[in-house]
Amino acid sequence: MINGATKLLGIIGCPVAHSMSPVMQNAALEDANLNYVYVPLEVSRDSLKEAVTGLRAANFRGWNVTIPHKSAIMPLLDKISDDAKMLGAVNTVVNDNGKLFGYNTDVTGFLAGLQEANFNAAGKKVCVIGAGGAARAVLWGLLKEKAGNIVVAVRDKAKGLSFIGGFTAYKNLSVCDFSEDEYKNALKTADLIVNTTPLGMYPNVDEMPCVDFSLLRDDALVYDVIYTPAETKLLRTAKEHNLKTQNGETMLVMQGVAAFSLLTGSEPNEKLMKQVIKKYLEEKIK
């Protein structure tokens, strides 16, 4: 029951009604018997500064951040974590006695998916498909895990080169477009292929990135960060070729688990959060 001692959490974005975070986080808060409530807060681009001031003044304990505010909120915070600085995006803000600290838990989520698939990225060859926001978290996670050669495959090579511009200190990165032989070579040698594009996401479930499965190694892992549907056309095709697969559900849940810990100082019931998200996604598709 909400009372005068209830601590306030939330998620800001525009739009925000579709967010799964309130469902997942409130279930975990109730399970942990914590006197918190987590609410969705729609904040327009033009109102972000005022919203942050208001949340701080209202003594919100913290909040998650989604599109379009992940980068725009950074100048409004007092301190930014190293991961968030590297990614140029914040997805979790903690209010510590009026001081606002920004974090990014997407890398934690991505690496949790690799761990679940029993994949050690150190020294491995990787092909990352796409160069959007999700790709930055994937790329930084792979670099932190000391992956070997990493090829970023894109439709627009100029965009890809701009994308890796923030990672110039790393010499094991290259960019190619889908028409180049370098892309075919990357697929042939890759231990891991990661799709970071929305191709195949519900409702466009018949789409998939251009991957020639005849080129892939028999022991390659195909990781799709999409979680709706649970099995994309890319992953279904990979299974038909007897390849190992990993979808984005664990990445989604574990970034939320990491955010929960930052916001409350407590460890949530991961199993429950996975169950809640799985049920929510299944009902959404129905």
Give catalytic residue positions. Answer: 70
Contact 45, 35 (CB under 8 A): no
* Nearest Cα residue to 247 out of 223, 270, 229, 228: 223
Report how far apart, in Å, the C-alpha atoms of 181 and of each of 160, 177, 215, 276 are.
16, 9, 12, 43
DSSP symbol at 193: E
The region, left, alpha or beta by phi > 0 then psi within -120 to 50, assigned to residue 202 is: beta
H/E stretch holding 147: none
DSSP symbol at 36: E
- Compute the distance between CA of residue 268 and CA of residue 265 in angstroms, rounded to an integer: 10
